[in-house]
Amino acid sequence: MNQARKLLLMSTPVGALGTGQGGGVELTVQNIAQELQQRGHQLEVVAPLGSCLKDVRVKEIAGNFQVAVQTQSKDVPITIPRNSTLGNMWQYARQVQTQYDLLVNFAFDWLPFYLTPFFATPIAHFISMGSMTHALDEIMEWTAKLHPDRIGVYTKSQAETFAFAESCEILSSAIDLSLYNFCATPGKSIAWLGRIAPEKALEDAVAAANITKVPLKIYGKIQDREYWQQIQQDFPTAPIEYMGFLNTESLQQELGQARALLMTPRWIEAFGNVAIEALACGVPVIAYRRGGPSEIVRDGITGFLVEPDSIPGLVTAIESIDSLSRIACRQQAETEYSLPALGDRFEVWFDKILTAH
Ligand code: UDP
């Protein structure tokens, strides 16, 4: 192990951990906290009231949530509600900062970047999405200029959405492989998994299911109810079934039964934790060749990369999916996306920051 550190992990302020409101960063916070603690680092996670994490100490903070920025336009100004969870979280961080070597920010929000030079304890920023709004781009770029070593991202495609791509530490993602069982023989359905919101373009997966008549099971938090209703109206006879938002234990059991996972993001997906969860179960991934999934899927081996926004492309891929080896999928997850590998990358990053500090 590297030198043991005292770390304060600042979670997303858009919702409590475990609710799905924060998307993939919830799983990332759980995984990185668990792995770093297991390596002997002392840590606490600061997160909204009601958050639950497995085997990790959480300081719960009350207040009103931030609005998820991906629902807003490029020009949207920064807003902070009264009695803000984000503000309260950073108030707490200010009070306890001297007890820690490093603060790690997981919020895709303006305030933690702005506060960076005002804190005595260094703050590392893990950015969980690509470029979203001008105001955020600006503060992130300003922070990257001030501290070029303190910005971490999931993937190269994500980093390239920012002007400060060169300063980004590429950290990728990982899952606790022991929680995901390999399933050699799938059922008849394919799966779609994630937040039900326009940037995820679930309608493309539904359109492909409607053409192929292969049943599609949908899992995840309904973030935008109108959008979900519109999809149901547009495809009244599509063979789809909404299965709810499941915890990891139930999700992996269900997911393993799928012939494939469809990933149809309209935006530049920063990573796509659902891709590596599928691979860990032995499920090949059919994804648009765009953003994070295009760096994960090995085209023709552990899935298919399809021309972005092409429904015929999805259809062809679905029709060829059973030719792929499910064992190869699990193997890729084991070799590239294990928690120890992620822990190594984060430790190297933290050491660089603390040495420079
Ligand atoms: N997820 C879940 N239960 C579900 C559906 C999804 O826990 O029923 C989680 C999934 O494990 C993943 C996250 O939702 O961690 C989606 O993250 P991803 O990185 O794919 O996309 P994001 O939401 O960050 O854009």
In this structure, the answer to whether residues 38 and 126 fall within a common structural domain is yes
Q: Based on the domain organization, do 106 and 229 belong to the same domain?
A: no
Question: Among residues 254, 263, 285, 275, which one has the least CA distance to residue 183?
Answer: 254
Spacing, Cα 274 to ligand 1 middle (Å): 6
**Total structural domains in the chain?**
2
| Interatomic CA distance for residues 84 and 48, integer angstroms | 10
Spell out the residues 6+ positions from residue 211 whose beta carbon is closer than 8 angstroms to its own: 311, 315
Q: Which helix (H) or strand (E) holds 26?
A: helix 24-38
- Are 139 and 227 in the same domain? no
The answer to the question of residue 52 being in a domain is: yes
pLDDT tens digits, 280-301: 999 999 999 999 999 999 999 9
Please state the rounded mean pLDDT for residues 98-105: 98
Instruction: Give which of 181, 176, 179, 156 is closest to 166, Cα–Cα.
Output: 156
pLDDT at 1: 54
Token pair of 114 as six digits:
């702005």
pLDDT at 2: 72
Range(s) of the domain holding residue 224:
177-336
**Could you give the C-alpha distances from 246 to 196, 250, 251, 254, 330, in angstroms and in order?**
13, 6, 5, 9, 21
* Domain match, 332 and 342 both: no
Distance (angstroms) between ligand 1 centre and the Cα of 311 equals 23
pLDDT value of residue 149: 97
pLDDT digits (tens, 9 = 90+) for 136-165: 999 999 999 999 999 999 999 999 999 999
Closest C-alpha among 181, 140, 134 to residue 281: 181
Q: Do residue 324 and residue 344 come from a single domain? A: no
Q: Could you read off the pLDDT of 178-229 as tens digits, one per residue?
A: 999 999 999 999 999 999 999 999 999 999 999 999 999 999 999 999 999 9
C-alpha 69, offset from chain centre: 14
In a domain, 280, yes or no: yes
* 3-class DSSP state of 178: helix
- Same domain, residue pair 320 and 342: no
Stretch 348-355: mean pLDDT, rounded? 97
pLDDT number for residue 71: 83
Residue 262 inside a domain? The answer is: yes
Q: What is the CA angle 264-270-273, rounded to 5?
A: 70
Considering the domain boundaries, does residue 23 fall inside one?
yes
Residues 108 and 220 in one domain: no
Indicate whether 1 belongs to any domain: no
Residue with CA nearest ligand 1 atom 10:
274
pLDDT of residue 98: 98
pLDDT of residue 123: 98
Contacts (Cβ under 8 Å, ≥6 apart) of 235? 203, 206, 207, 210
The answer to whether residues 81 and 167 belong to one domain is yes
Ligand 1: which atom is nearest the Cα of residue 23? 23
Q: pLDDT tier at 70 (50, 70, 90 boundaries)? A: confident
CATH number at residue 208: 3.40.50.2000
Any domain includes 97: yes
pLDDT tens digits along 264-281: 999 999 999 999 999 999
Parallel/antiparallel/unpaired status of strands 303-306 and 285-288 = parallel
99: exposed, middle or buried (Cβ count in 10 Å: 0-12, 13-18, 19+): exposed
Residue 255 class from Cβ within 10 Å (0-12 exposed, 13-18 middle, 19+ buried)? buried
Same domain, 122 and 269: no
pLDDT value at residue 282: 98
265 and 315 belong to one structural domain: yes
User: Do 57 and 115 lie in a common domain?
Assistant: yes
User: Where are the strands (E) in the chain, listed by range?
Assistant: 6-10, 42-48, 58-61, 102-105, 123-127, 151-153, 169-170, 190-193, 216-219, 240-242, 261-263, 285-288, 303-306
Instruction: Give the atom of ligand 1 at the shortest distance from the alpha carbon of 173.
Output: 19
Residue nearest to atom 23 of ligand 1 (CA): 23
Instruction: Quote the pTM value.
Output: 0.96
Residue 235 lies in a domain: yes
| Residue 259, pLDDT score | 98
Q: Coil, strand or helix: which one is 216? A: strand
* Cβ neighbours for 142, distance < 8 A, ≥ 6 positions apart: 113
Residue with the nearest Cα to atom 15 of ligand 1?
24
Question: Which residues does ligand 1 sit against, CB inside 6 Å?
Answer: 20, 23-25, 27, 193-195, 219-220, 245-246, 248, 251, 271-274, 277
Cα 333 to averaged position of ligand 1 atoms, centre (Å): 17
Specify whether 113 is located in the same domain as 239. Answer: no
pLDDT above 90: residue 251: yes
